[in-house]
Amino acid sequence: MDRRSLLHASPAAALILSELGAPAQTAAPEADSVSRESIREAMALLGLSFKEEYLDQMRANIRRTQTAIGALRQRPIPLDTDPAFHFDPLLPGMESPKPTPFLTPPPRPARRFGKLEDVAYWPIPDLAALIRARRVSSKDLTRMYIERLRRHNETLHCVITITEDLAMEQAARADSDLRRGRYRGMLHGLPYGAKGLFATKGIPTTWGAEPFKNQTIDANATVIDKLDKAGAVLIAKLSMGSLAMGGLWFGGMTRNPWNTEKTSSGSSAGSASATAAGLVAFSIGTETLGSILTPSRICGVTGLRPTFGRVSRAGAMSLCWTLDKVGPICRSAEDALLVLRAIEGPDGKDITVQSRPLGWNPAAPVKSLRAGIVQADFDKLSGERKTIAEAALAALRKTGLRLQPVALPVFPVGSLLMILNAEAAAAFDDLTRDGGVETLTSQKDNDWPNSFRSARLIPAVEYIRAMRARTQLMMEMKNLMAGLDVIVTPSSSQLLTITNFTGHPQMSLPIGLINGEPEAIHLTGRLFEEGKMVRAAKAFQDATNWHRVPPPGFG
């Protein structure tokens, strides 16, 4: 965040800080509600102590600010209204990627299959070959996936709404376009699912939360429109943790196809679960602090969280304006980049989205990539987890990738979580104050209701300090990535948290099973250079088979 952005944030900082001395309310309080004792208690919560005469001096300012807070609370502010500042992962002086072509893989010959359901786990290029050769119609492929959704959802609880009418309309159009010689690309006619926080005109957009079960938004999210333009077919709004936390939503706990006694994690819970179970050709999720990568790891699929500012969030539920990202969850790294190609780029709505080249050359040798490994993180592993990770690293090295040891920044990154908590509480401020959070299914200590209430005690001064510390972390990551194209870590690495705050792209790759459940490694790339990261991921997946293994019982 630059200096001008901080200056824009300062009025809000003053409002939130002063609010600590007063209870949450809409109307301005009575003048005598601001006592010396109430100010002293509020300051004590923050570890501050001021002289008595200063406490008296503060009272008039606090009253004025309370009046301003009351006035602002009377003004409706829709959730999709961004703050007057925004996060940019590129620091001053950082060069953007040089323009390079995106080389779409050549069409594959259509493979043979028995019954149509045999293709449920096929990667995007193979499904695309069937559609393009008209060996299978989009309508038939769509019916097959919808039938699988209906059959397995009772076990997985991964679907909020099956969008059958829309899907059959889009599939019919895809078939008609193809008959007329209009082929839109690799996603033409392929059925997909979207996390339940993306707006879809005329279809409920529930955010997985009780207060919004019947919410309908009269517009499409940008990602939905871009996939429609690419010819993809939306067959389901998939489950998500309530207001994008965890796997629990108003329809139950989304399950992991590899162990249906366990959750698929979250918050892109349904997207990972449905993709892993072969219920969609691919899916779209979002991530604020692990919500694509973590369920992808747990469900054994390939998740790609792009660079912050690569994909528009317009029409998606806002949680944290400086942290939210949109990305694909797929069966392979190549699939993920093909989907990213369709959804990336500016739309004139999300001001954080930048027009940066997305290069891709899968034929380029991976030995030309500069790769790092956080060996210290791998050294912390033990038992079967360590054995599987070492086998994955051996496979990576066999592709020609040369891994040089690197060290992560020594930084109290956990302290930056107050940024997430403060922004999320601001996003759902109205819901907190009108008691709507009390209707959410989960009310435990670590759930949103308690977090939203507690975050009222994060002063804006400290939020801005955390943002300044975040800039320091970005600088340290800039130095770390200066000589690297990709970094390899275990899924347990702190780099997952670091990169969410710095905006770097990251992806999760399945590498094996431990007691029948998936394990993964993570790859981290340079800002706006997802193509190089995916090149390493594809080389690994071409040499291994874990991304092709379906969970038992869903074949």
Neighbours of 166 (CB within 10 A): 17
315: left (phi over 0), alpha (psi -120 to 50) or beta: left
| Residue 273 annotated in active site | no
**How far is 431 from 452, CA to CA, in rounded Å?**
9
- Cβ atoms of residues 195 and 271 within 8 Å: yes
Q: At 477, is the secondary structure helix, strand, or coil? A: helix
| First-to-final CA distance of the chain | 48
| Residue 96 annotated in active site | no
Query: Residue 285 corresponds to which amino acid?
Result: G
Q: Which of 18, 137, 195, 478 is catalytic?
A: 195
Q: Which of 405, 400, 396 is nearest to 372 (CA)?
A: 405
Query: Residue 318 corresponds to which amino acid?
Result: S
| Residue 283 annotated in active site | no
Neighbours of 123 (CB within 10 A): 21
Q: Which of 526, 519, 525 is nearest to 544 (CA)?
A: 519
Q: Which of 371, 357, 378, 408 is nearest to 540 (CA)?
A: 371
Token pair for 112: 């043979």
Q: Which contiguous run of DSSP H or E holds residue 167? A: helix 164-179
Query: Residue 522 corresponds to which amino acid?
Result: H
Q: Which contiguous run of DSSP H or E holds residue 418? A: helix 417-427
**How far is 423 from 83, CA to CA, in rounded Å?**
10
- Cβ atoms of residues 288 and 241 within 8 Å: no
Q: Which contiguous run of DSSP H or E holds residue 249? A: strand 248-249
Residues near 78 by Cβ (< 8 Å), separated by ≥ 6?
A: none
- Cβ atoms of residues 274 and 235 within 8 Å: no
Pairing label, strands 191-195, 233-238? parallel
Q: At 437, is the secondary structure helix, strand, or coil? A: helix
Q: Which of 268, 291, 312, 508 is catalytic?
A: 291
Q: Which of 190, 197, 147, 194 is nearest to 170 (CA)?
A: 190
Token pair for 87: 């996060």
Q: At what angle do helices 269-276 and 138-156 cross, to 10 degrees?
A: 110
- Altogether, the residues listed in the chain come to a count of 555
Q: Which of 207, 161, 203, 210 is nearest to 427 (CA)?
A: 207
Q: Which of 267, 268, 332, 491 is catalytic?
A: 267
Q: At what angle do helices 124-132 and 333-343 cross, to 10 degrees?
A: 70
- Burial (Cβ within 10 Å: 0-12, 13-18, ≥19) of residue 357: middle
Active site residues: 195, 267, 291
